[in-house]
Chains A and B, each alone.
Chain A
Amino acid sequence: MSEELPQQLSEGRRSATAASLADGEWHRLHRASPLLKGGIALIAILGVVITNMRERLIQAFVPQYTEGGDPVDFVFEGGLVGWALLAVAIVLVALLIGFWASWRMHTFRITEEVVEVRSGIVFRTHRRARLDRIQGINIARPFIPRLFGAARLEISQAGQDANVQLAYLGSTAADELRREILRLASGTREQREARIADASGGSLLETRVGEFLAPELDPDEAPPESIVRIGIGRLIGSVLLSTSTLVLIGGAVAIIVVVITTDEWGFLFGLVPAVIGFGSYWIQRFTRTLRYSIAGTRDGVRVGYGLLSTTNETLPPGRIHSVVVDQPLLWRAAGWWEIKVNRASQATAQNASAAVANTTILPVGDHQDVMNVLRLLLPDLTDLDSVRLIEAGMAPHGRSGDGFVNSPRRAAWLRWFSWRRNGFAVTMDAFFLRRGAVWRELVIVPAPRVQSTSIEQGPLGRMTRLATVHLHTVAGPITARLGAVDVDAASAFFAETAGLLVDAAARDRSHRWGASDSSAESDTDSPVTPMSSADSAATPAEAHVEPRREEGPGL
Chain B
Amino acid sequence: MTTHLDPPGIQWRRVSSKYIAAELLSGVLFWGVVIAVALVLYLLVDVEWAIWVVWGALAFLVLGAIFTARQVRAYGYQLRDDDLVVRRGIMFLRVVSVPYGRMQLVDINRGPLMRWLGLSELKFVTAAAASAVVIPGLPEFEAEALRDRLVELAESRRAGL
Contacts and interface: CB of A to CB of B under 8 A. Distances in A.
A467 B152 CA distance: 33
A475 B4 contact: no
A455 B95 contact: yes
Contacts of A452: 96-99, 102, 126, 128, 131, 133
Given A458-B91, A533-B155, A553-B158, A453 B97 contact: yes
Given A457-B5, A473-B128, A552 B98 contact: no
Interface string B122-145: 000011111101000000000000
In which size bucket is the chain A interface?
35 or more
Interface string A480-523: 00000001101100110111011001101011000000000000
A555 B158 contact: no
B96 A552 contact: no
A508 B127 CA distance: 17
B7 interface: yes
Contact of A495 (B7, B126, B128): B7
Contacts of A527: 101, 157-160
A324 to B, nearest CB: 15
A435 interface: no
Nearest to A552: B158
Contacts of A491: 4-5, 7
A361 interface: no
B38 to A, nearest CB: 30
Nearest to A475: B129
B96 A453 contact: yes
Contacts of B2: none
Interface string B106-130: 0000000000000000000011111
Contacts, number: 133
Nearest to B130: A472
A487 B6 CA distance: 11
Nearest to A500: B99
A498 B127 contact: no
Contacts of A536: 155, 158
A532 B157 CA distance: 10
Given A457-B92, A498-B7, A527-B101, A158 B158 contact: no
Nearest to A537: B155
B45 interface: no
Contacts of A158: 127, 161
Interface in A403-456: 448-449, 451-456
B156 A494 contact: no
Q: On chain B, which size bracket covers the interface? A: 20 to 34
B92 to A, nearest CB: 5
Q: Most chain-A CB neighbours within 10 Å: which of B4, B8, B96, B161?
A: B161
A122 to B, nearest CB: 33
Given A502-B82, A502-B101, A555-B161, A494 B95 contact: yes
A246 B156 CA distance: 53
B48 to A, nearest CB: 35
B95 A454 contact: yes
A490 B127 CA distance: 24
Given A474-B128, A495-B7, A449 B161 contact: yes
A554 interface: yes
A203 B159 CA distance: 52
A447 to B, nearest CB: 11
A188 interface: no
Given A451-B98, A452-B128, A554 B160 contact: yes
A320 to B, nearest CB: 11
Interface of A: 158, 318, 321, 344, 448-449, 451-459, 467, 470, 472-475, 479, 487-488, 490-491, 494-495, 497-499, 501-502, 505-506, 508, 510-511, 527-528, 530, 532-533, 536-537, 552-555
26 contacts: A448-B159, A448-B160, A451-B102, A452-B96, A452-B98, A453-B98, A454-B94, A454-B131, A455-B95, A457-B93, A459-B91, A459-B92, A472-B126, A475-B129, A487-B4, A494-B95, A498-B99, A501-B83, A501-B97, A502-B101, A505-B99, A505-B101, A505-B102, A530-B156, A552-B160, A555-B161
Given A451-B102, A502-B101, 7 more contacts: A344-B127, A452-B102, A458-B91, A505-B157, A527-B159, A527-B160, A536-B155
Interface of B: 4-5, 7-8, 80, 82-83, 85, 91-99, 101-102, 126-131, 133, 152, 155-161
For the complex of A and B, list the 5 residue pairs with the smallest distance between their C-beta atoms, beginning with the closest. Answer: A452-B98, A555-B161, A505-B159, A472-B128, A454-B96
